[in-house]
Amino acid sequence: MPSAVVPEAVRSLSVAMREDSRSEHDAAEHSSFMSELLNGRVNEQGYVDYLLRLRAVYRTLEDTVRARRHDPVVAAFYDPALERSATIAADLDHWAPGSAREVDSPAARAYCTRIADADWGGALVAHHYTRYLGDLSGGQAIGRILDRAFALGGAGLSFYEFPMRAKPYKDGYRARLDALDLDLDDAARVVDEVKVAFALNQALFDELTANLPAYRR
Ligand code: HEM
């Protein structure tokens, strides 16, 4: 018997998205900025700089998805209950009250441009998946770790709080991905865009990693 090469047709889209972005995911998870942040070695300014980049990205993602919510592919995922812009604003009020909200970040600009220029609903779904399923997965643990590292008593962590239960929501989300019934080429385009989304997140982390000396706690 030839060794098993699993034909693409037997993998669902949700599995392909997860499996084919695994190495990118692991790289993001182990970026120096993230590791230092979760080990309690990044100061408030570092976390604020992270939030400011997320603010730009989520504003663009949420504006773009809302504007395109009647596209049938986007419609299957559009859900205002996921939106993070208001939670980021609330967290910034906690972490940096009264300070400027704009950030000069080439990585955030590149990320925003990529989302805003997406000319196909499937590409937007790839960006939607990469952020929100991440927030509903590892994001939940990150919130708890930050709570301990900064002794926050739960304050300033709205970004990690969702109104829905994560597990059933993620299961439903993956079922909707698999019900999209895309042909193989389009499914491959979605997976490719997930990898692009991870690379854009990595670039955000790289920018923050370069600033680590200024964030020492
Ligand atoms: C320290 C940082 C991170 C940790 C500890 C972490 C951890 C995890 C864990 C444990 C899961 C699996 C959860 C499950 O089985 O339901 C997961 C899933 C996921 N993470 Fe992360 N993650 C991190 C960073 C990121 C980043 C930066 C992104 C992208 C922006 C991301 C995107 C995702 C996505 C999209 C999934 C869902 C995979 C799927 O089930 O399809 N994660 N993460």
Residue pLDDT, tens place only, 16-32: 999 999 999 999 999 99
Atom of ligand 1 nearest to the CA of 131: 30
What average pLDDT does the structure give for the chain?
Answer: 95
H/E element holding 50?
helix 44-67
What's the pLDDT at 176?
A: 98
What's the pLDDT at 8?
A: 52
Helix segments in 2-43, DSSP class H: 13-20, 22-29, 32-38
What's the pLDDT at 7?
A: 55
Protein residue closest via CA to atom 28 of ligand 1: 134
**Distance of CA 86 from the midpoint of ligand 1 (Å):** 22
Q: How far is CA 15 from CA 19, 101, 110, 191, 204, in A?
A: 6, 37, 27, 10, 26
| Rounded Cα gap, residues 37 and 150, in angstroms | 10
Is 130's C-beta closer than 6 angstroms to any atom of ligand 1?
yes
The domains found in the chain, sorted by start residue, are 30-215 (1.20.910.10)
Q: How far is CA 89 from CA 12, 58, 92, 99, in A?
A: 36, 11, 5, 11
| Rounded Cα gap, residues 24 and 200, in angstroms | 10
pLDDT digits (tens, 9 = 90+) for 52-85: 999 999 999 999 999 999 999 999 999 999 999 9
| 151 Rama sector, left if φ>0, alpha if ψ -120 to 50, beta otherwise | left
Protein residue closest via CA to atom 13 of ligand 1: 137
**Distance of CA 133 from the midpoint of ligand 1 (Å):** 7
Is 114's C-beta closer than 6 angstroms to any atom of ligand 1?
no
| Rounded Cα gap, residues 29 and 26, in angstroms | 5
Helix axes 44-67, 85-95, angle to 10 degrees: 160
**Distance of CA 104 from the midpoint of ligand 1 (Å):** 26
**Distance of CA 112 from the midpoint of ligand 1 (Å):** 21
103 three-class SS: coil
Is 87's C-beta closer than 6 angstroms to any atom of ligand 1?
no
